[in-house]
Amino acid sequence: MPDVSVSDVTYEDLARLEQEFDDAELQTLREQHKIYAPLYKKRQEVVAKIPNFWALVLEQAPTEFENYTTPSDSQVFADALKSIEVERFEIDDPNGSPRSVVIRFYFDSNEYFEDKVLEKKFWHRRALDGWSGIVSEPVKINWKKGKDLTQGLTDAAFALFAARKKQDAAQNGSSNGKAKASKITKLPEYKAIIDKIENNTEAALSFFTWFGFISSHGYVSAEESAEANKKEAEKRAKWAKGEKVEDEDENDEKDDEDDFFDESEICPNGEEVAEIIVNELWPQAIKYFTAAQEADDDDLSELEDADIDDEDDDDEPVDIRSLVPGKGKGKENGSSASPPPKKRRT
Amino acid sequence: MPDVSVSDVTYEDLARLEQEFDDAELQTLREQHKIYAPLYKKRQEVVAKIPNFWALVLEQAPTEFENYTTPSDSQVFADALKSIEVERFEIDDPNGSPRSVVIRFYFDSNEYFEDKVLEKKFWHRRALDGWSGIVSEPVKINWKKGKDLTQGLTDAAFALFAARKKQDAAQNGSSNGKAKASKITKLPEYKAIIDKIENNTEAALSFFTWFGFISSHGYVSAEESAEANKKEAEKRAKWAKGEKVEDEDENDEKDDEDDFFDESEICPNGEEVAEIIVNELWPQAIKYFTAAQEADDDDLSELEDADIDDEDDDDEPVDIRSLVPGKGKGKENGSSASPPPKKRRT
C-alpha cells in the first residue's frame, strides 16, 4: 500500500474533527435561537388571532407526519387545538443542551380530555454506554371516560415509567440504561403494556401515543447523563493533551446499537415525530398554513364539520378557511392588497 | 362569523412575517458559514490524505442520492474522484445571496473526460414573475471519444444554452424567463435535445447529466434578478411605510408555478441532487465515510475493482477500505486507541 504509509491520518483525527463539527452544531443552534426567538414570539402573537391556525398547519403537514395521525386525531385538533409551542428549554443552561426541546400543545375545553396543555419534553442526554440522543418521559393524559383515543396506552406507559423509576430508586443502581431495561421486563406493568400494545393495534396508531414516547435507545436519567458527560469531558481533556484513552464502553455499545428495540415503547417513531414538529412544522408553520389556504376544498373535508357558525346560510358544510380574516371582508387594517390568497372559496 | 371581525390579522401580516423569517434564514446561513468555514477547511486537509474518501462518501450517500447515480458513475468516482468542495461563493457579496452555492468535483486524469475540475454553480435569483430559487448553467464536460456516459446529453444542453444566450442578446429583451422559454422551443438546438432525451433514456440516468441542469423554474439571468430584486426592495419599502402595493406579476406566477415543466431539462431533479450534496453529503461527509468503513464487504462490491495495489497477495479483490490508513498499521502518530473502526477487514 504505497499511498498509505505516507499518510498520517488516523481514525482519531476524524473522530476529533467529528467532535468539532458537533460543537459547531451546538454553536449554530445557539446563534439560530438568538435570531429566531423574537420572530417566533411575534408569530405566536399574530397567529393566536387566527382561528384553527395550528389545526390547519397539522392538516397540511408533510406526509411523514400524516402517517402518525388518524382521522380521530385530526378531529381533536379541529375541535380543540389552540396553539403549539416549541422551545429549546436548556439553551441557557450550562449543564443542559441546546438540542433539548419542549413541545407544548394547548387545547380548549373539549370532550376528549381534561388537560388544557400537554407538554412533551425531550432531553438531549448521554448514556454511559456511549450513546447520545433525545429521551423523553411519558406524559399523563387525563382522558374523559370512554374518550381515550389510545385505549389506555398512554396510561399504561405512564404507569410503567412510574414503576420503573420506583425500581431504580430502590436499587439506587449506577447501572446504565440497557442493564436497567432488562430488569424492567419483570415488572407487572411491563407485561400489562405489552398485552395492551398487542390488543390495540388500531389505537396504537393515534398521534396521542407520542405523549408516551420514551426513547429510541432506552431511557437515560439526568444522573446517568451527568456521569457520562463527565467521563466524556475527561476523555476530551486527555485527547487534547495527546494521552491515550480507554473507551471500551463506547465500542460495546455501537456494535449492538442497531439491535436495540424496546417492546414496551408505545410510539416507536416518537423521535421522528418530534423531529418533524421541531424541524418542519414549527419553523415552516406559515408556509403550511398558506398551503392549507390554497388547497382545494376537497382536501379539507375532514375538518369541515368544525363546530362554528357560518354566515353563508346555504347547505354547504362549514369551510374552516372561511374563518380566517383578510379573505375579502375588508374589515381589517387599511391595505389589503398584497399578497392576497390565491384561491378564494367559491 | 363572530370570531373573525374582532381579529385584525391579514394575509399581509403573515406575508410580512414570512419575509422576516426569510431574512432570518439568510442571517442564520451567514452565522453558520462563520462557524463552519474554518472547520470545512481543516476537514479538507485531513481527508485529502485518505484515498477514495469522497468516493466512499458517495457510495454511502442517502438513498435519494443513489437514485441519481448509475454503476458506471460509481466506477468513475472510484477510479478518479479526488475531492468534492462546496462553497457559498456569494456570502460576502452584498448583491449576491448566501444561498448561492458552487459545487466542485476534482478528478485525477482518467479515461472518461479531459477535465480535472467540474464546477457547478447555483445562483439564488429572483425572477420578474415573482419566483425565487436556484438556477444554474450547463457545464461543458470534455468527454473522451466513446466515453460519454450521457450519450451527448451534456453537450446538447451546453449547446442549447449557448444558442439561447445568443438569442436573448440579439433580442436584448427585458421579457421574463417564461416568455423567453417559449421562444427557445423554436431553436434547432431545442429540437435536438428533445430528440436526444427521448432516445437516450438510459444515459439520462447518469449522474453527469446533473452538470447540464438549469432550473426547476426556467433560467433567470443576473440582469433579470437584479431588476426583480430592485422591484422587491421598492415593494418592501412601500410596505414599511404602509402604502398599498400592486403586485400582479406575483399572483400570475404563483397560479401556474406548479405547471411549469421544461422538456429540454436533461436533469429534472437537479435541484434535489444539489440539495442532497449541499445539505447532507457535505456537512455529514465524515459520518458517511465512517458508515462506509463499517459496512459489510458486500456493500462495496461495486468499488472493489478500484485499480490500486494491494499488499495482500491473495486472489481476493481489492477492498477499497484497506487503503485507508490507521487500520492497524500503527505507523501514525502516537495514540491509536480511540475510536477505532468497528469492523476490520477479515
Q: HEC string of chain A?
A: CHHHHCCCCCHHHHHHHHHHHHHHHHHHHHHHHHHHHHHHHHHHHHHCCCCCHHHHHHHCCCHHHHCCCCHHHHHHHHHHEEEEEEECCCCCCCCCCCCCEEEEEEECCCCCECCCEEEEEEEEEECCCCCEEEEECCCCCCECCCCCCCCCHHHHHHHHHHHHHHHHHHHCCCCCHHHHHHHHCCCHHHHHHHHHHHHCCCHHHCHHHHHHCCECCCCCCHHHHHHHHHHHHHHHHHHHCCCCCCCHHHHHHHHHHHHCCCCCCCCCCHHHHHHHHHHHHCCCHHHHHHHHHHCCHHHHHHHCCCCCCCCCCCCCCCCHHHHCCCCCCCCCCCCCCCCCCCCCCC
- The chain-wide mean pLDDT, for chain B, equals 81
Verify whether the Cβ–Cβ distance A4 to B244 is below 8 Å.
no
- Contact status of A191 with chain B (Cβ, < 8 Å): no
- Across the interface, which of B10, B49, B50 has its CB nearest the CB of A326? B10
Distance from the Cα of A211 to chain B's closest Cα (Å) equals 29
Contacts of A309 in chain B (CB under 8 A): 1-2
With contacts defined as CB-CB under 8 Å, which chain A residues touch B279? none
Compare all CA atoms of chain B with the CA of A244 and give the residue at the minimum distance. B335
B59 or A240, greater pLDDT: B59
Please state the rounded mean pLDDT for residues B26-55: 95
Give chain B positions within 8 Å (CB) of A98. none
Please tell me if residue B283 touches chain A, with a CB cutoff of 8 Å: yes
With a pLDDT cut of 90, the percent of chain B lying above it is 59
pLDDT at A2: 30
Cβ contact, residue pair B338, A12, below 8 Å: yes
Query: Per-block average pLDDT, block size 10, for chain A (346 residues)?
Result: 45 88 96 97 94 92 87 96 97 94 98 98 96 96 97 97 90 58 84 94 95 94 95 87 64 47 90 96 94 63 42 39 37 31 31
Pairwise pLDDT comparison (A166 vs B62), residue with the higher score:
A166
Question: A238 vs chain B: nearest CA distance in angstroms?
Answer: 11
Judged by CB atoms within 8 Å, which residues 200-239 of A form the interface with B? 235, 239
Which of A5, A6, A13, A281 is the best substitution to test chain B (most B C-beta atoms within 10 A)?
A13
Interface of A with B in 13-42 (CB under 8 A): 13-15, 17-18, 20-21, 24, 27-28, 31-32, 35-36, 39, 42
pLDDT of residue B326: 36
**What residues of A are in contact with residue B8 (Cβ under 8 Å)?**
49, 325, 332-333
Grade residue B62 by pLDDT with cuts at 50, 70 and 90.
confident
Residue B9 has pLDDT above 70, yes or no: no
Q: Which pLDDT belongs to residue A106?
A: 98
What pLDDT is recorded for position B135?
97
Shortest CA distance from B332: residue in chain A = A8
What pTM, to 2 d.p., does this model score?
0.79
- A94 in contact with chain B, both atoms CB, cutoff 8 A: no
Question: What local confidence, expressed as pLDDT, does residue A12 receive?
Answer: 81
The confidence score (pLDDT) of residue A8 equals 58
Distance from CA of A291 to the nearest CA of B (A): 12
CB of A339 less than 8 A from some CB of B: yes
- The pLDDT, as a whole number, for residue B256 is 46
Judged by a CB distance cut-off of 8 A, whether residue A12 touches chain B is: yes
What mean pLDDT comes out for the span B26-34? 96
Determine the Cα–Cα distance for residues A127 and B244; give it in Å rounded to an integer. Answer: 57
Nearest CA in chain B to A329: B5
Mean pLDDT of B82-103: 96
Out of A1, A10, A31, whose CB is closest to B31? A31
Is A170 an 8 Å CB contact of chain B?
no
The verdict on A255 touching B (C-beta cutoff 8 Å) is yes
> Is the pLDDT confidence value at B310 over 70?
no
pLDDT of res. B244: 72
Rounded mean pLDDT of B145-162? 97
Most B CBs within 10 Å, among A6, A7, A108, A345, to test the B interface: A7
For A100-109, B27-36, B250-259, which range has the lowest pLDDT when averaged over its residues? B250-259
Q: What average pLDDT does the segment B318-344 reach?
A: 35
How far does A109 lie from chain B, in Å, by closest CA?
Answer: 17
Q: Which residues of A touch B15 (CB under 8 A)?
A: 338-339
C-alpha span between A86 and B164 (Å, rounded): 48
pLDDT at A184: 83
Select the more confidently predicted residue: B222 or A241.
B222
How close is the nearest chain A Cα to the Cα of B209, in Å?
Answer: 29
Is the pLDDT higher at B62 or at B2? Answer: B62
Would an 8 Å CB–CB cutoff place A256 in contact with chain B?
Answer: no
What residues in A contact B231, CB-CB < 8 Å? none
- B93-146 pLDDT, tens digit per residue, is 988 999 999 999 999 999 999 999 999 999 999 999 999 999 999 999 999 999
What is the pLDDT, as a whole number, of residue B168? 83
The CA-based dihedral angle spanning residues B201, B207, B212, B218, taken in that order and rounded to the nearest 10 degrees: 80
